[in-house]
Amino acid sequence: EIVLTQSPGTLSLSPGERATLTCRASQSVTSSFLAWYQQKPGQAPRLLIFGASTRATGIPARFSGSGSGTDFTLTISRLEPEDFAVYYCQQYGGSPYTFGQGTKVEIK
């Protein structure tokens, strides 16, 4: 089983700042089959990025993903008020299709 470790656990930033979230896999993720999701309180997750770097439909350009192998990054270039949420990475290169434990981006 691939274990995904996200860091930091909590990121305290102000609107307009840049957010950099990291996801590290315990073994290489096949073909960069890595996705990022955003979840707000009381809501279902929302797909942001798949294939490590491809934005999902309707996702603003301020969200970008990068990485390969075992190290992946989600960057939010300038935080908007609606971006404060929990972010999860997920690998789908091999079963079981595991998620990281999440990074909370909170308002400083």
Please report whether residue 47 would count as binding another protein according to CB under 8 A.
Answer: yes
Tell me whether the omega of the peptide bond preceding residue 81 falls within 30 degrees of 0, making it cis. no
Q: Which is nearer to another protein, 45 or 77 (CB)?
A: 45
Distance, in Å, from the CA atom of 78 to the CA atom of 50, rounded to the nearest integer, reads 20
Using rule CB under 8 A, residue 46 touches another protein: yes
Binding of residue 92 to another protein (CB under 8 A): yes
24 belongs to the binding site for another protein (CB under 8 A): no
Counting contacts by CB under 8 A, is residue 96 touching another protein?
yes
Q: Hey, CA dihedral for 98, 42, 38, 21, is it positive or negative?
A: negative
Q: Does 99 bind another protein (CB under 8 A)?
A: yes
Q: Could you tell me which residues are beta bridge partners of residue 54?
A: 50
Q: Does 90 bind another protein (CB under 8 A)?
A: yes
Give every CB contact of residue 33 below 8 A, 6+ residues apart in sequence. 51, 52, 91, 92, 93
Which residues lie near another protein (CB under 8 A)? 33, 35, 37, 43-47, 50, 56-57, 88, 90, 92, 95-102
